[in-house]
Amino acid sequence: MKKILKVLIIILIVVVVLAGGFALFISMRGIPNYGAKDPGIKIVPDSIRIERGRVLAGMLCADCHMNSDTRKLTGADMDPEHKLPFGNLFSQNITQDKTVGIGDWTDGQIIYLLRTGIKRDGQYAPPWMAKLPNMSDEDIASIISFLHSNDPMVVADATPDKPCEPSFFAKFLALVAFKPFPYPDHVVAQPDTSNKVEWGKYLVWNLDCFSCHSLDYAKNDYLTPTNSAGYLGGGNKMPEGIYSANLTPDNETGIGTWTEEQFVKALRFGIKPAGTVRLPMKPYLLLSESEAKAIYEYLRTVPPIKNAVNRS
């Protein structure tokens, strides 16, 4: 009996030491570095690309990178009330400033970051930053064109940002769950806008709707979003402490009874059918009515999920 007890104690000590060593490794290593690459692409901007990029950046980048004081994309505290378990989250300065912004980044370096999640120093961008592995080459070019434009949001501003301070949980996820995406080895074409369902799917995937409105950030499949756990069924905890809404066409817990007009009004102007304000999301004022209708058409085809989300 004493020998068995002694063996069990030794095993327990070994397990504790191994677990402690693994935890120390994760804490010391931090977010992984994968090595920098530059595909050598040079974007030729024009007025059409800049305007399209302004719309895309307004919906994808501004919410996180907009500084409420400067009204520029100089970075901000993304979780000031610390309601998420990822540590101290700060978005970075992405203006054209060459010291603290991205003014001396090449087009290829920015594209590689947006596609794969790897920054020019090889560091993996924080898991909470949206990556765009499925966005068309043309829309990516439009974002780059806007970032290089003379729009007040992105002109050089030397407002310093703050480095993120990821929690142990965030470091663990970056090691075991969140990995860089492969850089596309093919042309990523524009969606067929005459096919409303396909166009709507493209927008849901590339405006990052599924990321928040599926079950859990850690269980999202960013390469094939339809494989995400609870795809568009809601229940994901937002930084504001509110859980995301169910966007599937379930009649009781989703938007199955919503009309196209009601959905477009909620998406673009933030007013739900009951007349209440849609929180925590801001109105998608930059989204066109035709785009909002395409999203509605696509959502009608998504398998319904019965998930009554408590959003109080």
Q: Into how many domains does the chain fold?
A: 3
Rounded to 5 degrees, φ, ψ at 77 are -75, 115
Token pair for residue 127?
């898991």
The answer to whether position 70 is within a domain reads: yes
Is the pLDDT at 205 greater than 90? The verdict is yes
Regarding whether 53 and 23 lie in a shared domain, the answer is no
Say what the pLDDT of residue 6 is.
60
Residue that wins the pLDDT comparison between 86 and 120: 120
* Residue 214 belongs to domain spanning: 196-299
Regarding whether 101 and 23 lie in a shared domain, the answer is no
Regarding whether 253 and 171 lie in a shared domain, the answer is no
> What's the CA gap between 298 and 277, in Å, rounded?
23
> What's the CA gap between 246 and 253, in Å, rounded?
7
Instruction: Calculate what percentage of the chain has a pLDDT beyond 90.
Output: 62
Rounded to 5 degrees, φ, ψ at 90 are -130, 130
Say what the pLDDT of residue 178 is.
80
Residue that wins the pLDDT comparison between 127 and 143: 143
Query: Which of 8-22, 35-49, 71-85, 201-215 has the least mean pLDDT?
Result: 8-22
Rounded to 5 degrees, φ, ψ at 59 are -95, -25
The answer to whether position 41 is within a domain reads: no
Regarding whether 16 and 72 lie in a shared domain, the answer is no
Residue pLDDT, tens place only, 5-58: 665 565 555 555 544 554 555 555 567 888 889 999 999 999 999 999 999 999
pTM score above 0.75: yes
CA atoms within a 13 Å half-sphere pointing along the CA-CB vector of 288: 10
Rounded mean pLDDT of the chain? 88
Say what the pLDDT of residue 11 is.
58
Say what the pLDDT of residue 31 is.
77
The answer to whether position 305 is within a domain reads: no
254: Cβ contacts below 8 Å, ≥ 6 apart: 233, 234, 246, 247, 248, 304, 305, 306, 307
CB 75 within 8 Å of CB 159: yes
Query: Which of 124-133, 136-145, 226-235 has the least mean pLDDT?
Result: 124-133
CATH number at residue 100: 1.10.760
Query: Which of 3-7, 197-201, 229-233 has the least mean pLDDT?
Result: 3-7
User: Cα 168 from chain centroid?
Assistant: 20
Identity of the amino acid at 234: G
Whose structure tokens read 């229940």?
235
Regarding whether 201 and 142 lie in a shared domain, the answer is no
